[in-house]
Structure 1
Amino acid sequence: MTKWQLPPQGTTKLNVDGAIFHTNGSAGVGLILRDWEGKVLLAVSKKEVAVMEPLEIELIATLRGLQFCIPLGLQSLSIETDSLILAQELSKLELSNYMFRNVVIDIKQLQTRILVCSIVHVNREGNELAHKLARFGRNVIDTSVWWESVPHSVEQVLWTDLLL
């Protein structure tokens, strides 16, 4: 898939991404939740500290996404990430023995709180809005949330996702 796709009717789609900012020892999380018509329900840019591994920030982005979505009472959620390793790891029934195991356990436990919850890999072009929101995390103090909108700096990507 080379661009963002609408989820099936009745399903919401959460795109997640992480970005590491080596110069100041922080990272950003980007989340965008849209319904089956492409309507933005929620957009988030969040700063994380003391994260220096790409897989770690991708896992944290997924965890934060679930933490934002569970209170919304969603019945069907498709989570998309551009991290193939993360998507493969979270699809396994058994857990691998690696250093981010606790975050994987937390994600899997949160997934059970949504009736239908899948995590799939998409290429970067299909996850561009989440990527831009993760990069925007450099500019926030802790967390910025937009309900039914996105920051002006990423509106062009949203438009492109829906019309191209």
Structure 2
Amino acid sequence: MEKSSIGAIIRNERGEVMASMSAIGPRIETSEEAELLACRRSLEFAVDASFTSIMIEADNTNVMQAISSSVANYSFLGNVVDDIRHLMASLQWVKTSKIRRGGNRVAHVLAQHARNLEFDLYWLEDSPPPALEALYQDLLLL
């Protein structure tokens, strides 16, 4: 695989879309690497967009444990974990939550959309057109 793809969505407490992105990422080797790089990129986006309170949701238990821990991470992805922890520390409020694999449908659709992009796409206070169906399905579950 030449490149990876990243999808992220930021919603408010009512589930309304505040921001989202479909982005191109670097070549990856493992699912944990993909999840960590997506987490870092999503947090960078959230900080750049001036969000100060974030709940991070992901479906990889190892990743969620790594970024939530204060123990030094000496793995080959430790520098990415450190970047994420640093970004988290810059926020006023942050919580991590491990969700089931299917619970990240909108982000997955946005990542799939990014596979065909030549440049990153960002949406602010607007529902991302590539994920409208997934957003609608999420509303039906609320």
TM-score (norm 2): 0.91
Identity %: 30
Is the contact made by 1:84 and 1:121 (CA closer than 8 Å) also made in structure 2? yes
Q: Does 1:99 align with 2:66?
A: no
Per-residue deviation at 1:158?
0.3
Per-residue deviation at 1:52?
2.4
Give the Cα–Cα distance (whole angstroms) in 2 for the partners of residues 49 and 97 of structure 1: 21
Matches within 5 A, 1:17-32: 22=1, 25-32=2-9
Supply the RMSD in Å over aligned alpha carbons: 1.4
Per-residue deviation at 1:144?
0.7
Give the Cα–Cα distance (whole angstroms) in 2 for the partners of residues 73 and 152 of structure 1: 23
Give the Cα–Cα distance (whole angstroms) in 1 for the partners of residues 134 and 113 of structure 2: 13
Give the Cα–Cα distance (whole angstroms) in 1 for the partners of residues 10 and 36 of structure 2: 17
Partner of 2:49: 72
More strand by share: 1
Give the unaligned 5+ runs of structure 2: none
Matches within 5 A, 1:105-116: 105-116=82-93
Per-residue deviation at 1:139?
1.3
Partner of 1:41: 18
Matches within 5 A, 1:1-164: 22=1, 25-164=2-141
Q: Deviations over 1:86-115 (max 9, x none)?
A: 001111111232100111111101111101
| Of 44-53 and 77-86, the range deviating more from structure 2 | 44-53
> Secondary structure of 1:139's match?
coil
Is the contact made by 1:82 and 1:124 (CA closer than 8 Å) also made in structure 2? yes
What is the identity, as a one-letter code, of the residue corresponding to 1:111? M
| Count of residues in correspondence between the two structures | 141
